[in-house]
Structure 1
């Protein structure tokens, strides 16, 4: 039995959500999607039983955004195992390391089951890892570390598998889009909301965490309003400021504009002679994938550094130094998380920017090659669909050469652009981080298109028959 067959067999034995017998209406899909998000947000607000403090992972902010996780809660792992399994399976399939045809319905079902099986394996491994570390590093309710670890591990397995089932429920047609996208969007919006309107006072200066409540509190108490324009307080490094708010708004508008830009390639169809149209290539061809890989790499190095502290302090110190290059300010630096940090540590900011952008380019180019977005794969798909470029022979090699003029420059420059957006957002203290903004905007645009599509099908039933639904 092959690797993918073994994973698919495991996936088949796991509890699953059945497809709806009849396609739900748009209203029903919205209701189920909202229910899924509410359940996720409840888990992300419910502390893990057995521990009363979870400081071990407090610095993994980017990982919490990408994996829609919340430290010390039932959503500690978030969608991490699902995303990790999905990326690994997609890379294996795109690089032909596993023989599977995703155009074949049977192979596609096997691929989905294998991905679910691999995600469950990651759930088990990560639950054991996080459960043990949380029990060792956090204040607990009492009892042996092994006993507390068992309680935490069981909670993480059940809660994370429930998140997997919620994602499966939405993808099988009960909701809109995918649960992964919904949970990421909900997590980013939650962070932005608290940065703007959070009323809880968690700072040493007794100011609310949100910018607007802090502004009102400062004005009514005749405090120093200038401190809210640019945060220069070392005692309150995470206080959102006005520069961060303006940066957030500007980057959201810029990201929306860039995401909707396309490069049009004129083509004709062998099946519909005389009709010319264009194939749009997104200007941000690699989307936010490069910055996600960079952030995950840095977060994983930081995680291993924390784990290595139990085995080899010297190795932990080295890994901490390396992980510090992926974050600005570094996790343990006593520096405000605002543009003032650039003034305090300009060389660190420059070093962080160069490393982040260079790695974004590397991961962007690699992703194009392994994810089936390269010119050769795209040219083969066009030929199989009966599409040809005017004035060119319907030959994959010829079309590949034409597409290569567009795809690789797009991959290169879009990787630089998304890397720059993430870096600028970090240096200026944008709410939700640059990666969070990129993910939220991309997902929001996808849902806008999906809602428009579903609404069109309900308004014009004839379209359902035309597209075979």
Structure 2
């Protein structure tokens, strides 16, 4: 039995959500999608039983945006195992390390089951890892470390598998899009909303954490409004400021504009002679994948550094030094997360910028080759679909050469652009981080198109019959 068959067999044995017998209406899909988001947000607000406080989180910055996770809650792992399994399976399939044809319905089902099985393995491993570490480093309800760890591990396994089922429920037609996208979007919007309108007083100045409530509170108390222009406080490093708000709005507008830009390649069809059309290539060809890889790499190095502290303090210090270059300001440094941080640590800002952008370029070009977005794969797909480029022989090598003129420059420059957006957002203290803005805008545009598509099918039933739904 092959590797993918073993994973697929595991996926088949796991509890699953069945497809709806009849296609739900748009209203029903919206209701189920909202229910899934509400369940996720409740889990992200419910503390883990048995863990009352922990110093582990002080030394570990989790990529909450990417993994839609909230430290210390039932959503501790978030969608991390699902994303990790999905990326690994896509890389294995794209690089031909596993023999599978995603155009074949049977192979596609096998691939989906294998991905689910791999995600469950990651759930078990990550739950065991975090459960033991949390039990060892926390003030808890009492009892032995193994007992507390067992309770936490069980909670993480059940909760994370429930998130997996919610994602499966939406993808199988009960909701819209995918649960992964919905949870990421909900997480980003929650952080942005909290940064703008949070009313809890958690700062040393007794100001609300949200910018607008803090502004109103300062005006009513006749305080210095200039303090909210740029956060210069080392006691309240995460207090949102006006520069961060303006940066967030500007970057959202820029990202929307860049995401909707396309490069049009003129083509014809062998089946419809004389009719010319174009194939659009997204200007942000690699989307936000490069910055996701960079952020995950930095987060994983920091995680290993925290775990290595229990085995080899020297190795932990080396890993911490490496991981610090992936974050700005660095972890455990009392520097405000605003543009003022550049003044306090200009060398760290330059180091962070260079490393982030260079790695974004490398990961972007690598992703194009392993994910089937390279010119050779695209040329073969065009030929198989009976599509030709006017004035060019229908030869894979010839078409590949033409596509190379577009794809690799797009991959290179789009990797730079998304890297710059992420870096600028971090340096200027944007709400929700640059990665969050990129993901939220991309997902929101996808859902806008999906809603328009679903609405068109409901308004014009003949379209449903034409596309075979």
Cα deviations across residues 231-275 of structure 1 (Å, max 9, x unaligned)? 000011000000000000000000000000000000000000110
Q: Structure 2 regions of 5+ residues with no counterpart?
A: none
The Cα shift of 1:223 comes to: 1.6
Tell me whether 1:34 sits opposite 2:34 in the alignment: yes
Question: Which residue matches 1:372?
Answer: 372
Question: Which residue matches 1:294?
Answer: 294
SS at match of 1:53: strand
The Cα shift of 1:137 comes to: 1.3
Question: Which residue matches 1:341?
Answer: 341
- Is the Cα contact below 8 Å between 2:230 and 2:340 reproduced in 1? yes
> What are the equivalent positions in structure 2 for 1:4-23 lying under 5 Å apart?
4-23=4-23
Question: Which residue matches 2:170?
Answer: 170
> What are the equivalent positions in structure 2 for 1:7-156 lying under 5 Å apart?
7-58=7-58, 63-156=63-156
- Is the Cα contact below 8 Å between 2:65 and 2:188 reproduced in 1? yes
Would the alpha carbon gap of residues 231 and 168 (structure 1) be closer, same or farther in structure 2, given more than 3 Å must change?
Answer: same
Counterpart Cα distance in 2 of 1:172 and 1:449: 19
The Cα shift of 1:203 comes to: 1.3
| Superposition RMSD in Å | 0.8
Question: Which residue matches 2:245?
Answer: 245
Greater Cα shift, 439-448 or 210-219 = 210-219
Question: Which residue matches 2:359?
Answer: 359
The Cα shift of 1:11 comes to: 0.2
Counterpart Cα distance in 1 of 2:257 and 2:118: 37
Counterpart Cα distance in 2 of 1:54 and 1:359: 32
Would the alpha carbon gap of residues 338 and 59 (structure 1) be closer, same or farther in structure 2, given more than 3 Å must change?
Answer: farther
- TM-score, structure 2 normalization: 0.99
Cα deviations across residues 370-398 of structure 1 (Å, max 9, x unaligned)? 00000000000000000000000111111
Cα deviations across residues 317-347 of structure 1 (Å, max 9, x unaligned)? 1000000000000011110000000011111
Cα deviations across residues 96-146 of structure 1 (Å, max 9, x unaligned)? 000000000000000000000000000000000000111111211111111
Cα deviations across residues 383-422 of structure 1 (Å, max 9, x unaligned)? 0000000000111111111100000000000000000000
Counterpart Cα distance in 1 of 2:360 and 2:161: 31
SS at match of 2:75: coil
> What are the equivalent positions in structure 2 for 1:176-195 lying under 5 Å apart?
176-195=176-195
Cα deviations across residues 207-245 of structure 1 (Å, max 9, x unaligned)? 111001111111111222111100000011000000000
Question: Which residue matches 2:304?
Answer: 304
Question: Which residue matches 1:446?
Answer: 446
Question: Which residue matches 2:270?
Answer: 270
The Cα shift of 1:59 comes to: 6.2
Q: Structure 1 regions of 5+ residues with no counterpart?
A: none
Greater Cα shift, 60-69 or 384-393 = 60-69
> What are the equivalent positions in structure 2 for 1:311-460 lying under 5 Å apart?
311-460=311-460
Counterpart Cα distance in 2 of 1:239 and 1:456: 44
- Is the Cα contact below 8 Å between 2:93 and 2:99 reproduced in 1? yes
Would the alpha carbon gap of residues 60 and 259 (structure 1) be closer, same or farther in structure 2, given more than 3 Å must change?
Answer: farther
SS at match of 1:52: strand
- Is the Cα contact below 8 Å between 1:290 and 1:419 reproduced in 2? yes
The Cα shift of 1:201 comes to: 1.1
SS at match of 1:103: coil
Counterpart Cα distance in 2 of 1:35 and 1:340: 41
- Is the Cα contact below 8 Å between 2:61 and 2:331 reproduced in 1? no
Counterpart Cα distance in 2 of 1:58 and 1:100: 43
Tell me whether 1:211 sits opposite 2:211 in the alignment: yes
Counterpart Cα distance in 2 of 1:371 and 1:138: 41
Counterpart Cα distance in 1 of 2:367 and 2:130: 29
Counterpart Cα distance in 2 of 1:59 and 1:266: 53
The Cα shift of 1:62 comes to: 5.8
Counterpart Cα distance in 2 of 1:85 and 1:147: 29
- Is the Cα contact below 8 Å between 2:62 and 2:71 reproduced in 1? no
SS at match of 1:17: coil
SS at match of 1:124: helix
The Cα shift of 1:205 comes to: 1.5
Question: Which residue matches 2:197?
Answer: 197
Counterpart Cα distance in 1 of 2:91 and 2:362: 15
The Cα shift of 1:57 comes to: 2.9
- Is the Cα contact below 8 Å between 1:54 and 1:71 reproduced in 2? no
- TM-score, structure 1 normalization: 0.99
- Is the Cα contact below 8 Å between 2:209 and 2:240 reproduced in 1? yes
Greater Cα shift, 393-402 or 167-176 = 393-402
